[in-house]
Structure 1
Amino acid sequence: MPFDHNDHYHRLLLRQVPRDCGAALDVGCGTGRFARRLARLGMTVDAVDPSEEAIAEARALCGGAADDRSPRFQNGDVTELALPQGHYGFISCLASIHHMPFATVAALRDALAPGGVLVILGCYPERTRLDWAWSLAAVPANAVARLAIGARDRFRPAATRREEASAPVRQPAMPLAEIRREAAALLPWCSIRRLLFWRYLLVFRNSA
Structure 2
Amino acid sequence: MAFDHNDHYHRLILRHLPGGCRTALDVGCGTGGFARGLADRGISVDAVDPAAEVIEAARARSEHRGGGPGPRYRRADITRTELPRGHYDFISCLASIHHMPFGTVAALRDALAPGGVLVILGCYREVSPVDRAWSLAAVPANAVARLTVRAAETVRSAGGSGAHGPERARSVRAPVRQPAMSLAEIRRETSGLLPGATLRRLLFWRYLLVFRKSDSSR
Q: Under TM normalisation by the shorter chain, which class is it?
A: over 0.9
Tell me the residue number matched to 1:203. 210
Is 2:187 the counterpart of 1:180? yes
Counterpart among 147, 158, 161 of residue 159 in structure 1: 161
Q: CA 1:191/1:75 → structure 2, altered by over 3 Å: closer, same or farther?
A: same
Tell me the residue number matched to 1:18. 18
Q: Distance in 2 between matches of 1:18 and 1:118?
A: 10
Is 2:147 the counterpart of 1:140? no
Q: Distance in 2 between matches of 1:129 and 1:15?
A: 31
The 5-angstrom pairing of residues 58-69 of structure 1 reads: 58-63=58-63, 69=69
Counterpart among 190, 198, 201 of residue 194 in structure 1: 201
CA deviation after TM superposition for structure 1 residue 178, in Å: 0.3
**Runs of at least 5 residues in structure 1 that lack an aligned partner in the other structure:** none
Query: TM-score under structure 1 normalisation?
Result: 0.96
For residues 140-194 of structure 1, the C-alpha deviation after alignment (integer angstroms, 9 at most, x for no partner) is 0000111111111111134265242111110001000000000000000000000
Q: Distance in 1 between matches of 2:109 and 2:99?
A: 18
Tell me the residue number matched to 1:101. 101
Classify the secondary structure of the residue corresponding to 2:24.
strand
Q: Distance in 2 between matches of 1:102 and 1:177?
A: 13
Aligned length: 208
Q: Which runs of structure 1 show a deviation greater than 2 angstroms over 4 or more consecutive aligned residues?
A: 157-161
Contact 1:44 1:68 in 2 (8 A): no
Q: Distance in 2 between matches of 1:160 and 1:202?
A: 38
Q: Distance in 2 between matches of 1:196 and 1:180?
A: 17
Tell me the residue number matched to 2:89. 89
CA deviation after TM superposition for structure 1 residue 18, in Å: 0.6
Q: Distance in 2 between matches of 1:29 and 1:74?
A: 9
Alignment RMSD (CA, Å): 1.6
Give the percent of matched residue pairs that are identical in Structure 1 and Structure 2. Answer: 65
CA deviation after TM superposition for structure 1 residue 125, in Å: 1.2
Classify the secondary structure of the residue corresponding to 2:11.
helix
Q: Distance in 2 between matches of 1:64 and 1:48?
A: 19
Q: Distance in 2 between matches of 1:36 and 1:199?
A: 22
Contact 2:40 2:68 in 1 (8 A): no
Classify the secondary structure of the residue corresponding to 2:82.
coil
Q: CA 1:167/1:158 → structure 2, altered by over 3 Å: closer, same or farther?
A: farther
Contact 2:194 2:211 in 1 (8 A): yes
